[in-house]
């Protein structure tokens, strides 16, 4: 129940299927799967695997956006957590490295939540601070180098597998279930939607908005920290300059494609993840197509535009009116 697809998800699911079919057209072996070293191997798996970091970011971001906020710092938090995990990976046991990286994410989330909920700074400004400063912090940790490591336990987070599925995919599914249970299994989901829909009314109904807002920013940063560990593990190194760079924008886009309004209120975790997969299916398709890279951004923009138009209530009104006029 917690993860039930809402009725309004049809546009996103349809978009994902259409993009996957287009991928199949540009690359005939798109749906081929084979087992390689006990791990499923194929373009479809690549979509899931490469989409994992953005899907994780979107899982946190969707909650923040549902409260009418936004978190621009997730890319920087990825860089910080990756840098910490990489620095500790070879000198400490893996639980220590992972806990330290997630702990850094927790602190980042508390900081953002403090600025937004307690000091009342606009979310876009408040999180901009960490977006800029966070990458600097990550560079301080790595001293501007790519810190590489060999700990197989940490590397598992990026390239390992469980039951044939790549570890990042397993982690995303796990986090989706955990987030779903936390949000829909408790009253948090309802209160987030109420506060996002009308903060004043919710406050006057006795909803403790501050605590709730702080907790969604913390959750968002934790998701980002986990994504940071995956990104570092994937390349067996922490690249503070590039890890998570601009991914906050992809995460926001994923949430919006998933049908959650930037004005807060109703949200869907599953559709946010679906949004991340739509973006990645498109990226992978472009890579497979063999078009010159100069077209990447144009193609991406066009597809996003189409997906968003499909969801636009005004467009469906126009289409309905047009049909009526023709009939």
Partner 1 sequence: MALKRILMSLALASAPFVAPASAAQLTVGFSQIGSESGWRAAETTVSKSEASKRTVNLKIADAQQKQENQIKAIRSFVAQGVDAIFLAPVVSTGWDAVLKEAKQAKIPVILLDRDIDPSGKDLYLTAVTSDSVHEGEVAGDWLAKTVGDKACNIVELQGTVGASVATNRKKGFDTAIAKHANLKVVRSQTGDFTRAKGKEVMESFIKAEGGGKSICAVYAHNDDMMVGAIQAMKEAGLKPGKDILTVSIDAVPDIFKAMVAGEANATVELTPNMAGPALDALIAYKDKGTTPPKWIQTESKLYTSADNPQQAYDSKKGLGY
Partner 2 sequence: MQETAEARQPLLDVRGLSKSFAALRALDQVDFTLRAGEIHALLGENGAGKSTLIKVITGVLARDAGTVSLDGKEIVPRSAKEALTAGIATVYQEVNLLPNLSVAQNLYLGRQPTRFGIVRDGEMKRRAAELLAGYDLHIDVAAPLGSYSVAIQHVVAIARAVDLSARVLILDEPTASLDRHEVEMLFRTMRGLAARGIGIVFVTHFLDQVYEISDRITVLRNGRLIGERMTSALPRLDLIHMMLGRELSETTEERAVHEKSAAAPCASFTNFGKRGYIAPFDLELRHGEVVGLAGLLGSGRTETARLVFGAERADSGTASVEGKPIRLHSPRDAVQHGFGYCPEERKTDGIVAELTVRENIVLALQAKRGIAKPLSRREQDEIAARFIKLLDIRPPDPERPIGLLSGGNQQKALLARWLATEPRLLVLDEPTRGIDVGAHAEIIRLIRELCERGLALLVISSELDEIVAYSDRVVVLRDRAHVGALDEHAIGVPSILAAIAADDAARIAEEA
Q: Which residues bind partner 2 (CB under 8 A)?
A: 1, 185-188, 190-191, 193-194, 197-198, 200-208, 212, 265-266
CB of 198 to partner 2, least distance (A): 4
Query: Which is closer to partner 2, CB of 209 or CB of 310?
Result: 209
Contact partner at residue 186 from partner 1, partner 2, none, CB < 5 to 8 Å by partner kind:
partner 2
Q: Which of 253, 282, 254 is nearest to 269 (CA)?
A: 254
Q: Which listed range, 114-122, 209-217, 230-238, 303-311, lies at the site for partner 1 (CB under 8 A)?
A: 230-238
235 binds partner 1 (CB under 8 A): yes
38 binds partner 1 (CB under 8 A): no
Distances (CA, A) of 258 to 126, 165, 222, 311: 24, 24, 21, 9
Q: Which of 197, 207, 315, 198 is nearest to 266 (CA)?
A: 197
- Which tokens is 281 given? 């299916």
Site for partner 1 in 247-266 (CB under 8 A): none
Task: Give the span between the Cα atoms of 54 and 272, in whole angstroms.
Answer: 10
Report the Cα–Cα distance between both ends of the chain, in Å, rounded: 41
CB of 55 to partner 1, least distance (A): 15
> What are the b/e assignments for 222-235, b being 16+ CB within 10 Å?
bbbbbbbbbbbbbb
CB 156: neighbour CB atoms within 10 A? 14
Query: Which is closer to partner 1, CB of 193 or CB of 234?
Result: 234
Contact partner at residue 9 from partner 2, partner 1, none, CB < 5 to 8 Å by partner kind:
none
Site string for partner 1, 140-179 (x = CB under 8 A): ---xxxx-x----------x--------------------
Percent helix / strand / coil, the chain, rounded to 5: 75, 5, 20
Q: Which listed range, 123-131, 203-211, 259-267, 291-299, lies at the site for partner 1 (CB under 8 A)?
A: 291-299
Contact partner at residue 294 from partner 1, partner 2, none, CB < 5 to 8 Å by partner kind:
partner 1
Q: Is the dihedral of CA 219, 126, 197, 305 positive or negative?
A: negative
Q: Is 240 exposed, middle or buried, given 0-12, 13-18 or 19+ CB atoms closer than 10 A? A: buried
φ/ψ (deg, to 5) at 207: -75, 130
Task: Give the span between the Cα atoms of 277 and 46, in whole angstroms.
Answer: 10
Q: Which listed range, 43-51, 56-64, 89-97, 181-189, lies at the site for partner 1 (CB under 8 A)?
A: 43-51
Contact partner at residue 18 from partner 1, partner 2, none, CB < 5 to 8 Å by partner kind:
none
Q: Which of 288, 270, 279 is nearest to 308 (CA)?
A: 279
Distances (CA, A) of 225 to 26, 83, 87, 197: 35, 10, 14, 28
Q: Which listed range, 117-125, 250-258, 283-291, 319-327, lies at the site for partner 1 (CB under 8 A)?
A: 283-291
Contact partner at residue 191 from partner 1, partner 2, none, CB < 5 to 8 Å by partner kind:
partner 2
CB of 185 to partner 1, least distance (A): 34
CB of 31 to partner 1, least distance (A): 11
Q: Which listed range, 10-18, 125-133, 198-206, 235-243, lies at the site for partner 1 (CB under 8 A)?
A: 235-243
CB 256: neighbour CB atoms within 10 A? 21
Q: What is the CA radius of gyration of the chain?
A: 20
Query: Which is closer to partner 1, CB of 33 or CB of 93?
Result: 33
Q: Which residues of this chain interact with partner 1, rule CB under 8 A?
A: 27, 29-30, 36-37, 41-43, 46, 50, 139, 143-146, 148, 159, 231, 234-237, 239, 241-243, 284, 287-288, 290, 292-294, 296
């Amino acid at each position: 129940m917690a993860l039930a697809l809402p009725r309004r998800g049809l546009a996103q699911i349809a978009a994902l299927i259409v993009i996957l079919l287009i991928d199949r057209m540009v690359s005939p072996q798109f749906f081929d799967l084979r087992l390689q070293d006990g791990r499923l191997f194929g373009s479809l798996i690549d979509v899931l695997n490469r989409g994992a970091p953005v899907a994780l970011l979107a899982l946190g971001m969707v909650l923040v956006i549902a409260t009418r906020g936004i978190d621009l710092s997730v890319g920087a938090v990825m860089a910080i957590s990756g840098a910490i995990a990489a620095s500790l990976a070879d000198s400490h046991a893996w639980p220590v490295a992972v806990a330290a990286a997630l702990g850094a994410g927790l602190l980042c989330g508390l900081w953002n939540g403090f600025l937004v909920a307690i000091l009342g700074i606009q979310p876009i400004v408040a999180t901009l601070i960490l977006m800029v400063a966070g990458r600097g912090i990550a560079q301080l940790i790595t001293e501007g180098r790519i810190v590489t490591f060999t700990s197989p336990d940490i590397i598992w987070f990026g390239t390992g597998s469980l039951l044939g599925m790549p570890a990042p995919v397993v982690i995303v599914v796990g986090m989706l279930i955990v987030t779903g249970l936390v949000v829909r299994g408790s009253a948090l989901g309802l209160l987030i939607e109420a506060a996002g829909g009308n903060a004043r009314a919710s406050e006057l109904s006795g909803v403790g908005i501050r605590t709730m807002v702080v907790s969604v920013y913390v959750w968002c940063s934790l998701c980002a920290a986990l994504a940071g560990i995956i990104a570092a593990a994937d390349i067996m190194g922490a690249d503070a300059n590039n890890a998570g760079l601009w991914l906050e924008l992809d995460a926001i886009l994923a949430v919006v494609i998933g049908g959650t309004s930037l004005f807060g209120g109703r949200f869907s975790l599953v559709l946010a993840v679906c949004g991340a997969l739509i973006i990645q299916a498109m990226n992978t398709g472009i890579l497979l197509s063999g078009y010159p890279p100069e077209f990447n951004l144009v193609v991406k923009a066009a597809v996003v535009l189409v997906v968003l138009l499909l969801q636009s209530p005004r467009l469906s009104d126009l289409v309905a009116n047009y049909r009526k006029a023709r009939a």
